[in-house]
Chains A and B, each alone.
Chain A
């Protein structure tokens, strides 16, 4: 388990992270979402032991990570821009990481590289951005570490590759003790893979919740009522986060149990109603608006 306890980080006179606390349980996929400059990369670099927190503590399996060789053996960090040695091939990088991480699976790496249609012996400098990104993900996965920190990992991957990488991550979670932490500014990237999401904004964490809990707790209903009074009554009875009217069509975002919401809606005898699925993006916007932040412009 990763415990982040009141972590602060300053870059000279800029506060990059302000008092973040969170827990990342083993076996879950943790999504770290936030706008550019929210502090995602900084937090991941602290988790990887690259940066030292100015205050607070980061514990991995109960021990601090900074300058802790044994703990760092359990962590592989894929930064937003992976460095490869000059004139090095995928094979060369594999050998380097195999030297560093004792459980590195050379065979799996070679197989995966071939599966992704790349050449082990070709210089990485001749690879496209997406190909380099694939190599870094494969290196991270084949290092067989318990924790994999991915910073904007899906950035630069085409949709097919994105799905393939997600598939590999899912397989790993199924087959071994594996906890990926994925940072992204794009909610859509994380929607179908994360179990838990933490939202960072301006160096602080707005909230950190299980995705399923959030999805179960917020719903969007489109409905049409004959009488406006009935409509107002319903709005008073439900915990409405947001309501938009287009002609006679009312769209409301509501917090609460799905069955309860449907029951209350039906009692008002609407001419039409439908419960629509919410995207992660919509959930976030609603949640952040409730928290007093207007950040939809960043996500949309």
Chain B
């Protein structure tokens, strides 16, 4: 029987050979996690002692420092993955080194596992040492608790999952290439490919699908896979990366076993892969250049789109062929792949540019729809949403069933979209006083469909007045009406033309405000909603997955709400009082007509200013505050300056102007 070569001895030898990687990583992780972490910890603990942060916030901050939320640390993890993989398998790029590694009596599987495990240890040992020291510091500083340690361990595991995915991506890049530089480029391409394609598709969608409702859906979905399901602002454990890593491990091991040794010092290991890889790279590059050029200009967009795509195609051909052959004379190689890429990029551009699938005109059959939801921007309460998330929570709960008026709203939206596509200028929608309306369909098939349209309220007044009578619709406009409305804290915002501040109330006081507000809302008719102007709001901190704050308008007719707030110590004024106004500036566009100020009183630039009390009194009813669903005139705005004595924190007001005065 012949003796086997010791796995552990070879592993130890490899670790010893590239101990510099481990030492380097230990230094950077040690500095970033325990040392800088300690500095941050001291600052956070002092804030905690002074009651500036809660215990929950303290724990979250300490956990975030040692994991995926720390951008510097994540950059280090990416660099570590590259270093661990490339330092272990760099012999595949050198014929000289390969002669040694592949001539010794060690099977490829065994050699692979040795280098693979050694690379993992290169990361795990320094990373875990730095994490453990950080945990010790947390405990020593008095911040350590079982919850914190458990979350730190979980976060460390999640960071390891991210490393694992990147490590396997780097190994895959090595297996597919035969030169170090090309290998690193391949790693960058592998890691960036999906996000880049997502970004390009998203750009096309944003540019050409006017009714696309979820601007960050692709990114959110990608992130949820890569970083774990998002729970509010926290990520979970990214199990998906483990699945992908396991899959990649199998692929990489297979590729290594099949890898021809002569691939060393060639750009690509498998020449047959050159053309498909080129096509996969060239289509997004060309389309990306096209959409980038198109997005950078507002004139001749189609010409720039085509020009950018052709430019991208040529540049990609040049770069990819240069990388493949390292020979400038071969830049015209792989002509068929070039043609396929060109056709692919053109199809992609045409698909979006001409809305081949009729995305913007889609309207499901009534029989297909189980329920619908319609949400109107800047009408009712305004939610301060996380990033640009759309109000899916509200829409999902609306459950409008068999209401023909809801379809009429959509039809009007589709009609307006056709106009928008023709004009190509979204700003025009603002000038036309159109606002965004989100529509959500829950189909019988279980699928959900979302769209967003530009509609002015005047175009759908009849339909909205019908919908306004539906409780769930009204609850969407004023979520405070909902029985399960839960506020996160008793900090309460208050805003009117005279002040803007946060108020800390007792819970019972907040409940009083909510009860009074509900009463006022229930009494608010649709016609009132559409004619009454308000420059005042109250805001509640939300315990929601999607929103931080709900700002709810306070109309002059809300006597109950105003009375409770006055009772709590502040006299809220939803409207301006002429005697408090020092002056008013009105600005109008060249084509705008102002009926309440003679045309000759405007200067050449369309500005008008007055301090005349009579004139001010005449102008004020025309002004429309921020929290109003009133139809406003195009290109006419006003600044109102108040007497200093009536200002709380040096506050000035910006108003729109009514199209017409209510009867």
Contacts and interface: CB of A to CB of B under 8 A. Distances in A.
B153 interface: no
B105 A67 contact: no
B97 A83 contact: yes
B11 to A, nearest CB: 11
Interface in A39-98: 45, 48-52, 67, 69-73, 75-77, 79, 81-83, 85-86, 96
A77 B103 contact: yes
Contacts of A11: 262
Contact of A12 (B104, B107, B261, B271): B271
B283 to A, nearest CB: 26
B102 A99 contact: no
A99 B99 contact: no
B103 A49 contact: yes
Given A77-B99, A81-B96, A100 B106 contact: yes
Contacts of B500: none
Interface-central residue, A52, A69, A77, by most chain B CB under 10 Å: A69
B108 interface: yes
Contacts of A122: none
Interface residues of B, number: 27
Interface stretch (B1-9, B415-423, B645-653): B1-9
A155 B660 CA distance: 99
B269 to A, nearest CB: 12
Name A's interface SS: loop
A100 B105 CA distance: 7
Contact of B96 (A12, A69, A83, A86): A83
Given A45-B261, A51-B260, A83 B13 contact: no
A69 B105 contact: yes
Contacts of A70: 2, 105
Interface string A21-53: 000000000000000000000000100111110
B433 interface: no
A194 to B, nearest CB: 22
Contact of B6 (A51, A82, A85, A99): A99
A102 interface: yes
Nearest to B97: A83
Contact of A50 (B10, B99, B105): B99
A75 B100 contact: no
B581 to A, nearest CB: 80
Range of interface residues on chain A? 20 to 34
A75 to B, nearest CB: 7
B335 interface: no
B260 A52 contact: yes
A40 B94 CA distance: 19
B83 to A, nearest CB: 15
Interface in B70-128: 91, 94, 96-100, 102-108
B334 interface: no
Given A11-B262, A51-B261, A70-B2, A79 B96 contact: yes
B17 interface: yes
B271 A69 contact: no
B544 to A, nearest CB: 57
Given A81-B96, A85-B17, A99 B103 contact: no
Given A50-B98, A50-B102, A75-B103, 20 more contacts: A11-B262, A12-B266, A45-B99, A48-B99, A48-B103, A49-B102, A51-B260, A52-B261, A72-B103, A72-B104, A73-B2, A73-B105, A75-B105, A77-B99, A81-B96, A85-B17, A96-B13, A99-B5, A99-B9, A100-B104
9 contacts: A11-B262, A49-B103, A67-B108, A69-B107, A70-B2, A73-B105, A79-B99, A82-B99, A100-B106
Interface of A: 11-12, 45, 48-52, 67, 69-73, 75-77, 79, 81-83, 85-86, 96, 99-102
